[in-house]
Structure 1
Amino acid sequence: METYVLGDIHGAYRALQQVLERSPFRPGLDRLIHLGDVADGWPETPECVQLLLSIPNSIWLQGNHDWWVAEWMVTEAPHASANMSWLRQGGQSTYAAYQGGPQEQIRQHFHAFFSQQLPYFEDEAGNLYVHGGYDPAIAITRQDPYDLIWNRELWQYGQEAYHYTECFIGHTPTAPASLVPCQRANVWNLDQGAGYSGRLSLMNVRTKEFVQSDAVPKLYPGVKGR
């Protein structure tokens, strides 16, 4: 079994299809770890969720955008009452996508996917997977899950992920400075700006071989992302 790690999707279903087709990833044999932010930006969040649900042996981490979506799904608040920060930062496309589909899909995806996302994951090789980052000076079990989805200091300051072999994160786009997965100390960043004008990345954790989608705006001509 190989482990593959997937960056921030942000509703780009066509990009998700591309990386799965281009990668040697074997559904049902290999493990897939999604680093969070399946939602918000491009218009196909429900399709992304449905595809991830169909892949056996998958682990889904919660991103800050997923947190917002889960909050909305709990209440199914009308547009006027929804979190405006969420709507302005890509949530409008997610809201529209779910409102345009079957209403039962909102509850189905909340219970089957969004409520099942993890704050972090540690594998048998001593690697850590977390959406935003964490404070290396404090045991991760003692840290607020909300901080784990928003932390940027681990990446921005080039901190080492102490006590771990390697750490894999998303959340802070490397694009436009870099359109490929980047490493600082023992931390790898898999967010190459798919929510904006960048690409979606899927990497083999052991070999570091990766595939990417096309630039996402080319996959959605005439559609505005985040």
Structure 2
Amino acid sequence: MGRTLVIGDIHGAYKAIVQLLERAKVTPQDHLIFLGDFVDGWGQSPEVIDYLINLKATHNCLFLRGNHDDLLMNWLKTGQYSEEWFNHGGRITMECYQALPEDKRQLHILFLESLEDYYLSEDNRLFAHAGFTNLNGVKHEYFTRMFYWDRTLWETALALDPQLEPTNPLYPKRFNHYNEIFIGHTPVTRIGSTTPVQKANIWNVDTGAAFKGPLTIMDANTKEFWQTDPVHELYPEEKGRN
């Protein structure tokens, strides 16, 4: 049996994902769960998606949808985009894709369309890019965009009194549905960390690769993790999403 490995937000850092899987000594027996946001930030988003498509042919991979992945897919399919996306990593991604042939763009659209909103394992562990809002859990979520846009799950975890027991009526009901929840989306560098952070039963594996942090892969069972060099050191000529 291989490991269950969770990979944080890549954000166009092809050099980092290659370095990361080498450092973690990933094998085809491992189950790789990618938490989304494969694109935007660093200048190799197409290379990242090519790499993931090829990886899926040889490894056991599950790819979740991030908000940046959804924004890219919308632009590729409709030509429409928001200024917010353009100014938060989308510009360099757009420039890269405008240089690609149409058949490659279509292949990447198919990949982006295939992304999952969340993954619930047999041992009741939830994996999602961002979170969810429905108090009764992901299967009851009315607004599916929350799986890759929500920040309230993590904000609630950060604000939670660590002394509060799960049986307390004040304990967030959302937390009690799953044994563990693994997310990305909101980099832990915002709270001064560059390693995965646990709050209650929630693990945040976005260690700021889009900015000045490393990219991280974590064993969901043992919580051992491996990291790249700070990603901005791999792209000294770029600014990422800074």
- What is the correspondence of 1:71-90 to structure 2 with a 5 Å cutoff? 71-75=74-78, 77=79, 82-90=81-89
- Give the structure 1 partner of residue 97 of structure 2: 98
Looking at structure 1, the residues matched to 183 and 215 of structure 2 have their Cα atoms a distance apart, in angstroms, of: 13
C-alpha distance in structure 2 between counterparts of 1:199 and 1:118, whole Å? 24
Q: Is the 8 A contact 1:98 1:105 kept in 2?
A: no
Could you say which residue in structure 1 is the equivalent of 2:234? 219
Partner of 2:179: 165
Work out the CA distance in 2 between the residues paired with 1:39 and 1:130: 17
Alignment correspondent of 1:151: 150
Structure 1: give runs of 5+ residues left out of the alignment.
none
Instruction: Please tell me whether residue 200 in structure 1 is matched to residue 236 in structure 2.
Output: no
Contact 2:194 2:207 in 1 (8 A): yes
Q: Which moved more, 1:195-204 or 1:130-139?
A: 130-139
Partner of 2:224: 209
Q: Are residues 1:57 and 2:60 paired?
A: yes
Could you tell me the TM-score, scaled by structure 2's length?
A: 0.87
Measured after TM superposition, the shift of residue 206 of structure 1 is 0.8
Q: Are the counterparts in 2 of residues 136 and 162 from structure 1 also a CA contact under 8 Å?
A: no
Equivalent residue, structure 2, for 1:117: 115
Q: Deviations over 1:142-168 (max 9, x none)?
A: 212201111111111215622211100
The amino acid that maps onto 1:71 is: N
RMSD: 1.3
Deviation at 1:101, TM superposition (A): 2.4
The question of whether the paired residues in 1 share the 8 Å contact of 2:181 and 2:202 is answered with yes
Larger radius of gyration: 2
Indicate if the aligned counterparts of 1:199 and 1:212 stay in contact, CA closer than 8 A: yes
User: Quick check: 1:2–1:204 contact (8 Å CA) kept in 2?
Assistant: yes
3-state SS of the aligned residue for 1:175? Answer: helix
Task: Work out the CA distance in 2 between the residues paired with 1:103 and 1:24.
Answer: 35
How far apart, in 2, do the equivalents of 1:222 and 1:29 lie?
A: 36
2:214–2:230 CA contact under 8 A, matched in 1: yes
Residue deviations 1:115-171 (CA, integer Å, cap 9, x gap) = 000110011221100111113622211212201111111111215622211100000
Q: Which amino acid aligns with 1:11?
A: G
**Contact in 1 for aligned 2:134/2:140 (Cα 8 Å):** no
Between the aligned partners of 1:25 and 1:145, the Cα distance in structure 2 is 31
Residues 71 and 81 in structure 2, CA contact (< 8 A), matched pair in contact too: no
Cα distance in 1, alignment partners of residues 10 and 147 from structure 2: 18
**In 2: Cα distance, 1:116 partner to 1:187 partner:** 26
- Asked if 1:30 is matched to 2:33, the reply is no
CA distance in 1, matches of 2:179, 2:223: 14
* Match of residue 44 from structure 2: 44
